[in-house]
Amino acid sequence: MKSQNKTLFVFALLITLSSCKAQTTSIIKEGAELTLVADGYDFTEGPAVDKNGDVYFTDQPNDRIVKWDASDNSVSDWMKPSGRSNGLYFDLDGNLIACADEKNEIWRIDVEKNITVLVKDFENKKLNGPNDLWIDTKGGIYLTDPHYKRPYWNRTQDTIPKRVYYLSPDNEEISIAAENYSQPNGIIGIPDGKTLYVADIGYPGSSSDKKTYSYSIQADGSLINKRVFCEMGSDGMTIDNKGNVYLTGNGVTVFNSNGKQIEHIKIPEAWTANVTFGGPNQDILFITAMDSVYTLEMNVNGIR
C-alpha cells in the first residue's frame, strides 16, 4: 500500500513539474519523475558519491552502510556493522570517511573495508556525536558535532559545546572551526575551497535558531566572516555546479548562491534527511528520506 501511495504522489509531482516547463532555466530535467529506488529501511542518511557515481548511504538504526549502483539502479548492503555510521564523504584517495556515531568517532574506511579511527575525542573528551562532514581540496575534514541522544550510548560524560571542527589534512590535529550553535548539522563547501555552508537545524518548536550560515575559509582551514545565508536550517546539504545550495527537512529546498529560494522538491515522507548528486555525470539527485531513498534527474550537476 505504501508503494502505491508513493506512486500516486509521483503522478501528482509530475503535474507540478510540468507546470514549470516554461521555465527554461529549471534545475530539474523536463519531464523528470521522482523515483522511489528502495524502501524498507529504518532511517536513511549520509549519502556520499564515489568516483563512479555510485552512492553510499546509511541506515543508522540497522547499523549498516548501503550502496546504490548507478549502473543498474540496485541497492545492496556494503558494510554491516558500520559503527552506527551517519554522515559519509569520500576523501581524495577514494576512502569513505564516516561519522561513526556508536563511539562518537570519525572513521576512514578503505576499499577493503579496513577501518582507521581518525578522531576519537577532542581534548580528551568524547565528541557529542559527529553528524555530517565535508572534505576540502587539501584533504582537511570539517565535521559537525550536534547532540542527539542515542539509545545505544552508555556514557555518563556531560556534553561539550556543539561545534564545527576541522581535522587537518595530515589527520594529526583537530581544532574548533566554529561554535555558538543550537544544533549544527548539515555542512557543504564550494569546490574552490573558499566558502563553507553550515546549517543550524535548531530545536523542534523553535524557529529563531534555524538558519544556514556561510563562512569564508582561510588558508589554514579557519573560518571567518560568518553570515546568515538563509533563514532555514537543514539536516543534510549539497551543492550543484551553478552554486545552488540544497537543504533538507520538508522535502528539498534549493537556494541560489545569493540565498534566494528557487525551487522546492516535495518528497512523500515526513522528513527528508539528506541529499547528494550521483550517477556517472552527477546529474541524478539522490535523496534519503525516512525509510526510503529516491532519485530525480536534473539539468544541473553535482561537483566532486
What is the residue whose three cell numbers read 515526513?
Answer: 270
pLDDT at 16 > cutoff 70: no
Give the DSSP H/E element, type plus range, for residue 14: helix 2-18
pLDDT of amino acid 20: 41
Query: Please, are residues 196 and 189 in contact by the beta-carbon 8 Å criterion?
Result: yes
Asked which of 99-113, 127-141, 156-170 is least confident by mean pLDDT, the reply is 156-170
Q: pLDDT tens for residues 172-204?
A: 999 999 999 999 999 999 988 999 999 999 876
pTM above 0.85, yes or no: yes
Mean pLDDT of the chain: 91
* pLDDT for the residue numbered 1: 55
Between CA 9 and CA 24 the distance in angstroms is 24
pLDDT in tens, 249-280: 999 999 999 999 999 999 999 999 999 999 99
* CA atoms within 13 A of residue 112's CA, in its CB half-sphere: 2
In sequence order, what are the beta bridge partners of 264?
253
Please tell me the predicted confidence (pLDDT) of residue 206: 61
Please report, for the chain, the start and end positions of each structural domain, with discontinuous segments joined by +.
37-297
| Eight-state DSSP code of residue 61 | G
| Cell matching residue 204 | 523542534
pLDDT digits (tens, 9 = 90+) for 46-97: 999 999 999 999 999 999 999 999 999 999 999 999 999 999 999 999 999 9
Q: Which CATH class is domain 37-297?
A: mainly beta
Q: pLDDT band for 154, please (50, 70, 90 cuts).
A: confident
Phi, psi of 28 (to 5 degrees): -95, 135
Q: What does the alpha-carbon distance between residue 299 and residue 241 come to, in Å, rounded to a whole number? A: 10
pLDDT tier at 207, thresholds 50, 70, 90: low
Structure confidence at residue 169 as a pLDDT band (50, 70, 90):
very high
- Please tell me the predicted confidence (pLDDT) of residue 9: 52
The pLDDT of residue 135 is above 60: yes
- State the Cα–Cα distance between residues 304 and 297, nearest whole angstrom: 17
